[in-house]
Structure 1
Amino acid sequence: MGLGGAGKLWGGGGSSDVESGLPLYPGIDSMDNALRWGFVRKVYGIISMQLVLTTFVAAAVVASPSAQHFLLTNWGLQLGLLLLSMLGLIPLYAYRQSHPTNLVLLGCWTPLFSVTVGMACSFYPSAIVIEALLITAAVVVGLTLYTFHATRRGVDFGFMGPMLWGCLLAMIVWSVVQIFWPPGPVGRTIFSLLGALLFSAYLVFDTQLLIQRYDLDDYIWAALNIYLDVINLFLYILRILGDSQRSN
């Protein structure tokens, strides 16, 4: 996801620079650098497959009125899918380094989570969904290239971790409060903007963890975190665009 572009940004020749050992961050030796590049490519390969699978599953839900009706009129099913998606993160973390169990668990969890993404997309016109998808892609590529560039220059985003965790907890509490006291149009827009900013920052933070800090056996967990950053960013952008259209 953007690695060839990263090479061009640094003045190199894309994939040929990767193979020749372009240093990912200051002080890394050639052996670790080669292993880390292999890890990065593996993680982005997994993320790409997750995103393709999510696109197909979500598109199938959006394209089928009967599936939409079945899912949207069964609150118990919606709640069950949400809970299963959240609880599924526990075994994914526990077996994140156990091959091939980690891949099997991810292969089961991703389509399950993708159904909830499809349900969210079904509330909006196709044009809005495509617009949100394009904006998300542009933001993700831009932030990914920036993070690779900044990390290579020695910029450390580790300080963001505690602040991002605190903001995420605040957003979760705010989401629960909205169930009982629904906000107005302005409140929804502010919430969505803050959510988009939060997961944009998380994308930068998690990308640097991928580049520098994850254990080489943690490819599933690294992929899952960045995948969730991208999906959540897309959903908040979708909500912003949808609310903007309704207000016009």
Structure 2
Amino acid sequence: MAQFDTTRVAGRTTAGVRGADIDAGLRAHMNKVYGTMSVGMLITFAAAWALSGLAVSATPTEYQIGANEYLTGLGYALYASPLKWVVMFAPLLFVFGFSAGINRMSAATAQLVFYAFAAVMGISLSSIFLVFTGYSIAQVFLITAIAFAGLSLVGYTTKKDLSGFGSFLIMGVIGLIVASLVNLFLQSPMMMYAISVLGVLIFAGLTAYDTQNIKNTYLAHAHGGDSEWLGKAAIMGALNLYLDFINMFMFLLQLMGNRE
């Protein structure tokens, strides 16, 4: 009996050590996810801010866009020439290519590609400084950050399985893309408003869903100890949360932003 009790206690101790190792590993994994995402956000902001300064000239140039606003040659190329379509759709093509090719990359290469994608996204988003006031952009960014933190915390801590919402939310994203493409030609304010409201709701749901999925993916593969695979999983998790944040920010900006 004493021998049985000793074995049982030893088993519980071993299980407790494994559980503590997994908890520590999960915290490190999530820190890497949020850290990589944060660096990507800083790169995006830096690229957008730098190009916004080049896009509008304080002195008259050839390309006038308002009473006291003028595009530089670079600004014209980015926002008024056919190149604007390349700038608009480059991030979408980039992220599809990245997602398809990440399994053939090392974790270090995947991280560099993610940062390159963040820079491309910044170029694409730089036009918001032409459309919305700086104060409005900062205000909506802060609101998005608070909402994102709360939703991600919910996804990390909730005991409810959110996996059933995944297919529904992805179908919603596809619907948003199609509706947005259609509205490029219709230019309907009411349709844009509806798209923005639905976009905020869908990406709010995806923030919680993706956070839980990142956590569950780590827990499912933690015993394997494949650090290279887990490194790439952290980068993909950062990419998903980055896209959730950026899209929620853009849709909130459409709803709440003050235009120039």
User: Where on the TM-score scale, by shorter chain, does this alignment land: which range?
Assistant: 0.7 to 0.9
* Mapped partners of 2:179, 2:96: distance in 1: 24
Stretch deviating more after TM superposition (36-45 or 113-122): 113-122
**CA drift at 1:191:** 1.6
Tell me how far 1:233 sits from its aligned partner. 0.5
**Structure 2 partner of 1:11:** none
Q: Deviation string for 1:103-160 (max 9, x for gaps)?
A: 221222210111111123421111221121111111111212222231xxx2211111
- CA RMSD of superposed structures (Å): 2.0
Given residue 84 of structure 1, which amino acid in structure 2 is its aligned partner? A
AA partner of residue 88 (structure 1): F
- Find out whether 1:195 has 2:203 as its counterpart: no
C-alpha separation in 2, matches of 1:138 and 1:190: 23
Q: 2:255 aligns with which of 240, 243, 247?
A: 240
Quick one: which of 34, 49, 74 aligns to 1:59? 49
Aligned length: 212
Mapped contact 1:203–1:229 kept (Cα < 8 A)? yes
- 1:69 is displaced (CA, Å) by 3.9
Identity %: 25
Q: Provide the rounded CA distance (Å) in 1 between the counterparts of 2:238 and 2:111.
A: 11
Which of structures 1 and 2 has the bigger CA Rg? Answer: 2
- The aligned runs of 1:1-248 (5 Å cut-off) are 29-64=19-54, 65=56, 66=72, 67-74=74-81, 76-93=82-99, 94-95=101-102, 98-150=106-158, 154-184=159-189, 186-214=190-218, 216-217=230-231, 218-242=233-257, 245=258
- 1:24 corresponds in structure 2 to none
Task: Name the amino acid aligned to 1:73.
Answer: A
In the TM superposition, what is the alpha-carbon distance from 1:62 to its structure 2 partner?
2.6
| C-alpha separation in 1, matches of 2:253 and 2:192 | 12
Q: Contact conserved, 2:44 with 2:120, CA < 8 A, in 1?
A: no
Q: Which 5+ residue runs of structure 2 have no aligned equivalent?
A: 1-17, 57-71, 222-229
What TM-score, normalized by structure 1, do the two folds share? 0.78
Instruction: Give the residue type in structure 2 aligned to 1:163.
Output: F
Distance 2:140 2:129 in 1: 10
How much does 1:61 deviate? 2.4
1:212 deviates by: 1.5
Task: Kindly indicate whether the alpha-carbon contact (under 8 Å) linking 1:192 and 1:239 is maintained by their aligned counterparts in 2.
Answer: yes
Look up the equivalent residue of 1:241 and give its one-letter code.
M
The answer to whether the 8 Å contact 2:88/2:124 transfers is yes
Q: Which amino acid aligns with 1:125?
A: T
- Structure 1: gaps spanning 5 or more residues: 1-27
**Counterpart residue identity of residue 79, structure 2:** L
Partner Cα separation in structure 1 for residue 95 and residue 42 of structure 2: 20
Counterparts of 1:30 and 1:208 in 2: how far apart (Å)?
19
Give the Cα–Cα distance (whole angstroms) in 1 for the partners of residues 83 and 32 of structure 2. Answer: 34
Q: Is residue 68–residue 119 contact of structure 1 (8 Å, CA) maintained in 2?
A: no
Return the offset for 1:91: 4.1
Change (3 A) 1:49 1:206: same
Letter in 1 for 2:256: L
Q: CA deviation at 1:164?
A: 0.3
Counterpart-to-counterpart distance in 2, 1:70 and 1:123: 17
Deviations 1:184-203 (A, max 9, x none): 3x332222111111111111
